[in-house]
Structure 1
Amino acid sequence: MPTEKPTPRYKRILLKLSGEMLMGDGKGGISPKVLTTIAQDVKDVVDLGVELALVIGGGNIFRGVSGATEGMDRSSADYMGMLATVINAMALQDALEKIGVDTRVQSAIEMHQVAEPYIRRRAIRHLEKGRVVIFAAGTGNPYFTTDTAASLRAMEIHADVLMKATKVDGVYTEDPKKNPAAVKFKHLAYIDVLKRNLKVMDSTAISLCMDNDLPIVVFDSTQHGNVRRVVLGEEIGTTVGGTGPRATAT
């Protein structure tokens, strides 16, 4: 008998990836090996019938905040960072389409030769047709991070959850690399993240999710298959918001 397809917990998700994740073990740029792994993780989720959109940072190429601290005008630096996210989005689109995943890149800064302009209704239509949509160039405005862009786009496309991919397996009381005694949270309320100044996402992104009751799942994406596990409802990582109890540590 054929194996029954598992039932996903979520119908439509937005996956947030940092640009630094694309570097792999390198000090910058894009690792083809990492791209291939991420693309396969995305395909595994799409094959479940889940509608998936992505937002990628640009920190592996250029960080606007870093440029500003070196004396560059903050707005100019942020626009450069937005352009870096377009490069990452195009790279991931190529990796996805090589394994048969139909993908569209939509940019908040119009550049018709390489990406569609961001149009909310068009993005939703792509998702309904089973295409992966990568939102590039942040919100199109300086002074806003790609975390905020991810929260905003998740709300606009009516995503069921915002999945924040990181290199650690959840949210801790402290940085577990600096303090091995740090305790991981299983569930957190939005307000606890803000009060404790936990480095989940920036405060604007957290506030936006809190105001619109959008749950956030923070998990380790360096382990192949974890994206699929979260989508299927396995209790890995840390859930912010949703129906879980406040500030529950494991």
Structure 2
Amino acid sequence: MGHELQDIWFSYDDRSVLSGVSLELESGLFHGVLGPNGSGKTTLLDLISGHLKPNKGRVLLEGQAVDKAARKELARKCALVPQDFRVNFPFTAAQVVMMGRYPHIGRFGAPSQEDWDMVEQAMESTGIRDFAQRNVTELSGGERQRVVFARALAQNAETLILDEATSNLDVRHTLALMRLAADKVRKAGLTVISVMQDINLAARFCQSLLFLKNGRAAAHGPVDEILTESVIQEVFEVKSKVYFDETINRKQVVFL
């Protein structure tokens, strides 16, 4: 069933951010969320992950209201990679990744061998084992981002929520983490919901796109149907050329 948004309205004080958004994000797909600055993308993720409650409407996960779920239960279902991760205490990278296992550990329990195995797998897949014992306060922005990505993978949730999760990464690591997420969608049935600024990156890895503008859903559906020159013109107010790139077998965009 995935996530369902039913007539969602949200405001920060007197500033309206989302207005009457209704849609379903099917499970087992890689969803890209795109739109101009201030269109409500991050707020949408915060509502989906349960960090915010809508002023009006309901957010459902598998038919259950997200804002009614216990925090630990929700953390077993949704893992978030935020846009900007800051920590002032000198935890090691490995300790931060282990934080992803806390929803699976009893209140007074200690990490099991399974927990450590999940942490090792997450660090290996994101390429951070070389600095696993370094303090996160000493890491670069890109290295910290990979640590937080590994933490989310170790959480082993059904949905991975990415808020511009590759914004601090170079091209090589961006492609590596996007491939990793796409592989988990294809092989393990993971659901990924990712806010992205790069339309071509979204077109390459996503199966479904949601375009937001002025707090409303401007277009939503499969990439091949939704990624058009008219949609880009409507949402971003720029002219473009959309073409099929045979090298990667995906649609791509050139901005004019």
Tell which structure's C-alpha radius of gyration is larger: 2
Q: TM-score, with normalisation over the residues of structure 2?
A: 0.34
Q: TM-score, with normalisation over the residues of structure 1?
A: 0.34
Which protein, 1 or 2, shows the higher relative CO under an 8 Å CA cutoff with sep ≥ 6?
2
